[in-house]
Structures are given as structure tokens and as C-alpha cells.
Structure 1
Amino acid sequence: EVRSFYQEMLKDALNRLMKNSLINEVRGQKKAEADIESIKTFETNLKELLLSPPAGMKPTLGIDPGFRTGCKVAVLDETGKFLKYQAIFPHKSAAEKQQAVTTIKQLIQKYKIELIAIGNGTAGRETDEFMTEVISTLDKKPIKVIVNESGASIYSASKVAIEEFPELDITVRGAISIGRRLQDPLAELVKIDPKSIGVGQYQHDVDQKLLKKKLDETVESCVNYVGVDLNTASKELLIFVSGMSSTVAKNLVKYRNENGAFKNRQEILKVSKLGGKTFELCAGFLRIRSGENPLDNTAVHPESYSVVEAIAQDLAVSINQINQISNKVKSLDLKKYVTDKIGEPTLKDIISELEKPGRDPRAEFKYATFREGIKEIKDLEVGMELEGIVTNVANFGAFVDVGVHQDGLVHISQLADYFVKDPKQVVKVGQVVKVRVLEINEQLKRIGLSMRKQV
């Protein structure tokens, strides 16, 4: 009797008072864990995308493809500055196609174009084939690359783009962004909200405050890891440099526009609102190529210049030949250069930086060549071997662009010939990979791919 009374009481207490709060608590814990895991994946993908190898600052054609409205072509110089815009219609009549061929050839010759960036959206593959035809008739052939244009349309309608190009049409801004993405992905992608770049998973379901915080930290980390060219960097890029505020970045660009290129790092102290503390925080991440002091093109902080100069003097090496220091320094005892501010670990970092002064830490530039004749899902066949670019990595596999306007999925079980626990250990965003077509569902627009060797 008493036992059943207590059982009923406990059952009632559990169902009426405790059950819901316990369920909510466990759900909340699991949701927080899932959020952290999902955000980690987003962070990794964003980092790989931002650190994509740059093709280099060379004269470039940026092309935003289109059928009915034509292709918007933007000419950029070797600093990324916009020079000229032209619309071409290679996908209409034969006469208009011929006119497009003439226009492109003239632009390539006049501006000595070395790179051609084609957006991977609508008409991307058709425009790529058209450009292949044009380039084949030239003696000096520019490098042609299909560029992922995710977020380009969002950038072209953004406040940043309107400020930079108030007089240009939205589609022309898109073509400029596509061209600059090829020249230097990091400098261009920082202008776009990371959530619009399309490399996350479940990004709208996770804690938005935590997501923003982590993504901003990732962008800042990447910008400072690579370093920023003080004489070409935009305000949007400078904002992410350690110690820089939006106001200081704006003032720095204004000073540069009025007084010309910076010749040394100390000169930035003349910029309004940039004081000693900001200088201390940001100077090591700002680079000046071909400046007065070769150390200004390295990650060595100005407060360590005196130590480098002392080492160079002891080795009888000119400061203009700093790359020779690292070879000869082995004969020196570094302890004698240790100061209150500079310890031995810092000295070792300085020496390793001097081995390759001005070197970009990002990987060497590579690009995928999409198979000719493959433009749509219906052109694919099971068993086909293709080259593609990884566009997104999720916990269950990787998405790969093979040039058919629809990314294929390499499921985690198809990533390698061995067990894969985490796809991020095998592939990364922007990586060029070889894949085999496993299955095609035209109706659902699904493509199954494999990176495993065929047995």
C-alpha cells in the first residue's frame, strides 16, 4: 500500500514537474555540443578558403557569365585596380559571337592580360569553352581559371561595393570581385560576410552570436598570418589587422591616397589616430614591398630591427642581403643578442623569417581543368573520371564542383581506401581532386562521386 503510494507520487513528480525540464536540459546540452562541432567545421572550411593560393597580382580579366544579358567583362591591372568594362554576347548569334572574339582579343592584347577569371554560375561552362577557343588562337596564352563566385552577388549589392564603385552596375561589380578573387582570394573575400560564402553546415540552426564571434576570429587570424601589403590593402582588409580599428584603417587609406605609397613602416605613425600602442600591435603584420628597408617586407617587428642589424653587422652582411643571414647565423651564439624584450625563441622565429623574406605563406597556386563537353548533369555517365574543386566539407563528406552547375557529393565512405573518421583530414575547401562518378539522379539533381581507387 505504502510502496504503491510512493511509486505513484514519484511517477507524478517525474511526469508533471521534472520530465520537461530534464528533457530541455539534455536537449540544450546536446544542441550546444552540436553547435560547437558545426561551427568548428565552418571555421576550418573558411580558413582553407581564405588561405586559398593566390594566382598573383597580374593583369586580369574578370568575367561574370550570362546568356541573355551577356557576359560582363572587367579589366583589372596588377594591383587589382579596375580599368575598363565591356559586355560581350558570345552565346547569341554567330555575328555577336564573332564580335565577342574580337573584343576579348583586343582587351588581352591592349592590357597584356595574364589571367582570366570566369565565374562558375549560369553560363560558366559555356563561357569557359568560348574562352578556350579564343585563347587557342593566341601566341601568348593567358591562364584561364573557373572561379567559385559564391557571395559575389551579395558583395556587388553591398555597402562596401557601392562605396568603392558608386557609378558601376551591380553585375560589373560582380565581375571585378571574380577577377580579384583569382588575384588574391583573401583580400577580396574579407569584404563578404563569411556566412554568405557557402562553406558551412547547418549554419542557420547554430548559435548565431557564437558563429559570428568564431568566424570573425578566423578571418582575423588568416589576415595576420599572411600579412597585409600596406600600399595596396583595402580598408576592409586593414580592419582585420591586429590593433586596427575601422577609423584608423579609413584614415590610413586616406593618407595613402593623398601622400602616395608608404616607404617605411615608421611613416604610418603620421596617420591620424594611429598612436604608439596601435603601431606596436599592427606593424609586424604590415608589409612594404620595395620599400627603403627590406625588413619592412617581413614579419619581423620594427622593435627587433636593431637586433637583426647587430647580427648582420657581426656577419659582415648588408641589411639588403638579409636572406643570407640565415645561412651564416649557425656560426653565432644567439644568447648574446637576447634582451629584456627579445628572448631566444623570438630570435629563432626572426631567423626563420629571414630565410625567405617576403614569402607568401600560402600554398602554390593550382587550378582544376574541367573535362571538355561536360556542361550539364545529363552529360555525365557512371564511371567517368573527372577533375574538380572541393567547394565545401561537411561531417558526412565533401562537395565537389565538376563543372555541371551542381556540386557532387563524395560521401565520407568514398573519400579514401581506408576508414575516414573526419573528412577534414582528407580534403579541404579549394583543393583540386580527381573523382569518379558513382551515381546520377537528374530529377533530384544529385551526383554521387568517389575518390577511392577502382578495384
Structure 2
Amino acid sequence: MSQLLQYIIFHTELPSESVKNTVQLLNEDCTIPFISRYRKERTGNLDEVQIEAIVNCKEQFETLEKRKATILKAIEEQDALTPELQKKINDTTDLITLEDLYLPFKKKRKTKAETARKNGLEPLAKMIMSQSNNDLDATALRFVKGEIASEEEALEGARHIISEWINERTDIRNTLRNQLERYALIATKVVKTKANDEKAQKFKDYFDWNESLSRIPSHRLLAILRATSEGFIRLKIEIDDEKALSNIENRIIRSQNECATQIRLAIEDAYKRLLFPALSNETLQLAKEKADAASILVFTKNLKQLLLGSPLGEKRVLAIDPGFRSGCKVVCLDAQGSLKHNENIYPHAPKNDVTGAIKKINSLVDAYKIEAIAIGNGTASRETEAVIRKIRFNRDIQVFVVSEAGASIYSASKIARDEFPNFDVTVRGSVSIGRRLQDPLAELVKIDAKSIGVGQYQHDVDQGKLKTSLDTVVANCVNAVGVNVNTASTSLLSYVSGIGPKLAENIVSYRDENGAFPSRTAIKKVPRLGGKAFEQAAGFLRIKDAKNPLDDSSVHPESYSVVQKMAKDEKVAVSELIGNKSLLQKIKPEKYCTDTIGLPTLKDILSELEKPGLDIREEAKVFTFNQNIKTIQDVQEGQLLPGIVNNITNFGCFVDIGVKESGLIHVSNLSDSFVSDVSEYVHLHQQIIVKVLEVDVARKRIQLKLHK
């Protein structure tokens, strides 16, 4: 078994055959959604999370191997590579150990130890480390020459060399690492000149703080690091220095003569100047990486919930981007999200033209046969909603309040300019609000996931890892839902397995020039869309009203022949088999197993045939806030209020109860029992009932409890 497979199996604890086959599929340029959905027999039914873990381990191993090659080459160029060292490097399975092995050979800027070596003091350092010299003053006197003017200078130089040796010892570094990992405290103090700064007040809790670094929650560590970077506090890592020094001494000192005294001084110098600064920074960085991972996990969970939010579907929508002085921008969209009309209404101060606004909305609803109204949840949202609810429509019109998060980013983007070159940002923003109601996933993929604003401390975590994780979530959601290839935007198509931005552009261009694709096989005519891309993408692309009904299902074209055989055996057409639950339940999947298609795929096929094209998302539901609650002053302790979850963090969730300030349900108020994962109790945009525990009008804070 190769080192790569051993590494992945060790870190993921997944079956060896599953890992081997998954790696092979990845090397064949297969995507995670394709592998998890259409190659279950080969992977042993691994899900997307497990396959992603294999991908991450594969990347980590490749990074490690690349670094090993660089280090081996560098040491070899110094003629210092021994067979023993080469074996140690080749056998290393983590970067920290690898860098420790390389440390003695690393090119350093000018150091005190290097200067001492140039002054010929390395032999003296070796004599001291031997701990057998009983007349050190006389020995040191022999080295007083050139740049060295005294015995003390000679001993000091020798100690600098010894300090470097101590710093380079892997066992000593690991002992100190262990102490830092288990016992380090993170301590903070306010920068006195910034104590009264208005911006510093949100970090007031950390003006004088200390806590175990191993147990600090991710959100708190990220908050402390932000406060430090903004110059409001200073932090330091603390451990028991005497214990650390004693541990090092016990590993080195074997005598009680003059040499031991010099070594103790060198140990103290190595600890304070080299070991502790480097390893405490390393420990803090590792804690930051863990906090980043925890924070990114919250982001990914939130983003998934947001992307898989309830779609209204293909309904004609009137969308309103509310505002006060500048008025409310109103747009009318057809069932496919195309813009049909736009104008402004002015129901609020200073114009207060409520009557005109009501008449205009009424006439637009009639003229464009509107089926639902979407109102952005930003400034003037509640006031605009109140005006709309006064209107007596001549038919049932559903009214929804829609999250505006990221709408301004979209409206100023190149994607929006390309879609609506003749309209300004206000029109584009309103269109985005309306389309989010029709299909949140199709609209939100046009916005950089980081700009949607769900989670905590998004600007403080590793931006590369955040982008990779969020892009993976978007791709998984798009492929889980499936995409109508004849209506999808370039942005949406680009996330389909095997497609990417360039092929997405080619698909849209071909569609614009040649009309709708009549079948899945017709997609092969798109320039540069080869056999591999078609294999990866076909199962996730849908063709509505196609001649072959399987083209509007998640059954992959490679399995059409199996479905046709099933239909033939049941003496019905494929179209008669689809949706025929009683007939499908009679089919024994074992009968259709082949060398390439096993039970997992066959069960998926039968499940899909039963409910073809079923949208995994819930239907959109109308929600109404308490109409008596308009500002934080209206919120009173003890009230039970309807609310919508609008953000989730590791310490709880925030809830929109219809006022400007979102209330917080702390993790301890989600349940009477211990809560390890907030997402197990609530999800984004969930409609819930909350109990008001506390209202702090001055600090604009509302504490809530989830009401069962």
C-alpha cells in the first residue's frame, strides 16, 4: 500500500478499499458530488463529507511530500544529509516534526551563535556540554584572542552556541510544546491610551482577561485576536516558567560543576530568547487554526441552510427594496425572474404618499398578474410591510419579508451589470430580492459566499480556507438540488459538477444562439464540453419537458439502459414507470445488478423514479411579525414573540423579531439540556417563537429564550 493511502487511512479511519478507489476517482478528475452520487459501489457508499476528508488528507500529504523534497535537497547541498537523517525525514508524517528536523540546517540570518562560531568558540561550547571540565576559567582563557577580549566574553559566546543547540533539540521542543498545549494561559490587558475609545468598548470584556488557551471558545479567541490587531489590547501567552526550565535542565544537566552553571545560564537564555517566543507563537497559531476551523464550520452549516432555503418557485413576483427619503424601488418579475417593470413609490416621510403607493401597487399586481410580494428586510422594511398589508387585493397575494444580505454586493457586481446594463443598482438590488424569493439558491450563487454575512468573524479566519470551504458547500448544494440547463445563469451552471466558469459561459452562449437544449445528449454539442465533463455534469442537469422523461431526473444517462430494461420487463413505457409507486415497489433491484451497477445505485434509481425531480427544499411559508413590536422600546421582558433565525454562531443564534436590533438566544437558552451544536436546534430562516428574557435599551441588546 502506498504512503499516500496509509496516510489517508490513518487520518480518516476509513476502509482501505474505499480510500483506494476514491483516490483513483479523484486522480481521474472526478468531482466530489459525482463520486458521492454516482460511484457508490466503488467508494463503499461514502458521503460528501467523507470524500472531502479524503481530498483534504490527499492535499496535506502532497504538501508534506513537496516540503520533504525541498528540505532534502537543501540539506544535501550542504553535504550534511546522512542515511539516518534521510530516513527520519522520509518517515515524518507532520510538518511540525519535519521543520524541527530541518531547523539545525536552516539558513539563518546573522545570530549570536554564528558570531561566536566565527570567533572560534565552538570547541569551548563542546567542552562545557561535556560537563567534565573542572577548571573552566583556565579553559576559557585559552579562547581570549581576536574579537574575544575576556574570559567572560568567551563563556558568553559559548553559551550562545549552547543556547542554539538547545533550541534545535526536538525532544526539548516537544516537551515545551506539550506544556504549552496543556497548561498555557492567554492573558490580555487594555492599552491604557485606548481604554476610553468608543470602538474599543465592544471588546471591554477583554480589557483584563485570562483563560486556558486549550479551552477558550473559538469566538472568544477570534475576538481577542481582532482586539489585539486593532490595538485596543495586548495579549501574551503564559506558562509556569520555572517548571519549563526545570524540565529542560533535567534533560541536559548531569553534573554540579562549573559547566552546569554555564549550561543553566544557556538554558535560561535559550528559553527566553528562542524557545518560548517561537513555540508560544506556534501554539497560539495552532489555537487560531482550530478557532478558524470551528468558525468556518459554522459558516458552512449556515451557508448550506441559506442556500437550501425554501423557494417559492416559478411564480410572478413584485419585489420592493424599501427606503424612506429616496422612496421604495418596486420591480415586477415574471415566473422565470425576468424584469418586466420598475418604478418608485413614496409611502414614507417626507412625501408620505401612502394613498398613491397603495394605488400603484394594486395596479401593478393586476397588470402583471402578481402572485407574491417580496419586501427586503433592511431600512423601512416594517413600515413598508405595514403599508402593503393595508391593501385589499382582489385575489390571494402572499407577502414575504426577504433577507437583503449581500444584495448590495450583487447589485454593484459585474454579473449584475451584465444582466442589467441599462438599469442602476437600485433596480438590480430589487430584482435580487424578488429572485431570492423565487429561488434562493439560483440567486445567492451570484454573490461571493463571504459577502452573505452568516457566521462569526469572517474577516479574521484564514481567507483561503474559508473560500475553499464555502465554494465546496455551494457546489454540493447546487448539485444536490439539480439545475435546469435551459434557464440557469452562468453563475449557477459554473458550480455544476465538471462544468466550471468557462464551460458555463459556453453553455449559455450556445443556448442563446441555438435555443433550448431538447435533451441531455444535445449538451455535448457545446464547444469544449467533452466526454469527461458530460459524464461529471449530466446527472445534475435537468431538461424540462424532454422527449426522454429521464432527462428531467437525477438518473444518470449511463443508467438509462437499466431503467429501460425495468420498463420492458414490466411491459410498460419508461414514462409509465415514472411515478408509479406500486409498480416500482414490485421491482427487485438485485435482478439488475451488473459489474458496474450495484444495489446502492439501483436503490437510488428506484427512489428517483418514484418521485422524479423532487426538490429537497421545503416550500416557502409566509411569516408575520408581532405588529405591535416596532422598536426595541416596545420589547418587554416576558413577552412571547414570533421571530426568524437570521444568524447562527457557536455561542447561540440571533433572531429577527421585527425591530432593528436582532435578539440573541444564548446557547444555554436553546434547551434545558446541554447543547453541543446550535444547528441541531435551529436553522437559518427558521420561524420560531421566543421568550424575551432581558432588554438593555442603552446597549441595544435583547436576550431571548427558545420557546417550545
Give the alignment's TM-score, normalised by structure 2: 0.62
2:492 counterpart residue number: 237
Aligned partners of 2:398 and 2:622 also within 8 Å: no
Q: CA deviation at 1:315?
A: 1.1
1:391 aligns with 2:646: yes
Q: Which of 326, 333, 343 in structure 2 is aligned with 1:86?
A: 343
1:62 aligns with 2:319: yes
2:307 partner amino acid: L
Q: Which of 449, 452, 457 in structure 2 is aligned with 1:197?
A: 452
> Which runs of 5 or more structure 2 residues have no equivalent in the other structure?
1-255
Deviations 1:127-172 (A, max 9, x none): 00000001xx123121101011011011100111011001101111
Do the aligned partners of residues 398 and 367 (structure 1) sit closer, same or farther apart at CA in structure 2, a change above 3 Å counting?
farther
2:109 counterpart residue number: none
2:487 partner amino acid: T
2:591 counterpart residue number: 336
For residues 277-356 of structure 1, what are the structure 2 equivalents within 5 Å?
Answer: 277-356=532-611
1:400 counterpart residue number: 655
> Which runs of 5 or more structure 1 residues have no equivalent in the other structure?
none
Helix, strand or coil at the partner of 2:436: helix
1:210 partner amino acid: K
For residues 70-219 of structure 1, what are the structure 2 equivalents within 5 Å?
Answer: 70-92=327-349, 96-134=353-391, 137-219=392-474
Deviations 1:39-65 (A, max 9, x none): 111100000000011111100011100
Whole-angstrom CA distance in 1 between matches of 2:296 and 2:406: 19
Higher helix content, 1 or 2: 2
Aligned partners of 2:329 and 2:427 also within 8 Å: yes
Whole-angstrom CA distance in 2 between matches of 1:405 and 1:333: 57
Aligned partners of 2:577 and 2:584 also within 8 Å: no
Whole-angstrom CA distance in 2 between matches of 1:227 and 1:435: 35
Q: CA deviation at 1:445?
A: 1.7
Whole-angstrom CA distance in 1 between matches of 2:637 and 2:589: 62
Deviations 1:292-321 (A, max 9, x none): 121111100111111101101111222222
Aligned partners of 2:346 and 2:352 also within 8 Å: no
The structure whose RCO (Cα within 8 Å, separation 6+) is larger is: 1
Whole-angstrom CA distance in 1 between matches of 2:600 and 2:613: 21
Give me the identity figure in percent: 52
Whole-angstrom CA distance in 2 between matches of 1:60 and 1:171: 17
Q: Which of 264, 268, 271 in structure 2 is aligned with 1:14?
A: 271
Tell which deviates more after alignment, 215-224 or 9-18: 9-18
Helix, strand or coil at the partner of 1:290: coil
Give the alignment's TM-score, normalised by structure 1: 0.95
Q: CA deviation at 1:17?
A: 2.2
**Shift >4 Å, 4+ stretches:** 3-6
2:634 counterpart residue number: 379
Whole-angstrom CA distance in 1 between matches of 2:630 and 2:514: 50
Whole-angstrom CA distance in 2 between matches of 1:301 and 1:448: 50
Whole-angstrom CA distance in 2 between matches of 1:95 and 1:281: 56
Whole-angstrom CA distance in 1 between matches of 2:584 and 2:361: 52
1:38 aligns with 2:301: no
Helix, strand or coil at the partner of 1:347: helix
Alignment RMSD (CA, Å):
1.6
Tell which deviates more after alignment, 5-14 or 400-409: 5-14
Whole-angstrom CA distance in 2 between matches of 1:71 and 1:20: 57
Tell which deviates more after alignment, 17-26 or 188-197: 17-26
Number of equivalences: 451
Aligned partners of 1:399 and 1:408 also within 8 Å: yes
1:439 aligns with 2:686: no
Deviations 1:242-263 (A, max 9, x none): 0102221112112222222222
Aligned partners of 2:584 and 2:610 also within 8 Å: no
Tell which deviates more after alignment, 370-379 or 6-15: 6-15
Q: CA deviation at 1:424?
A: 1.5
The structure having more radius of gyration, on CA atoms, is 2
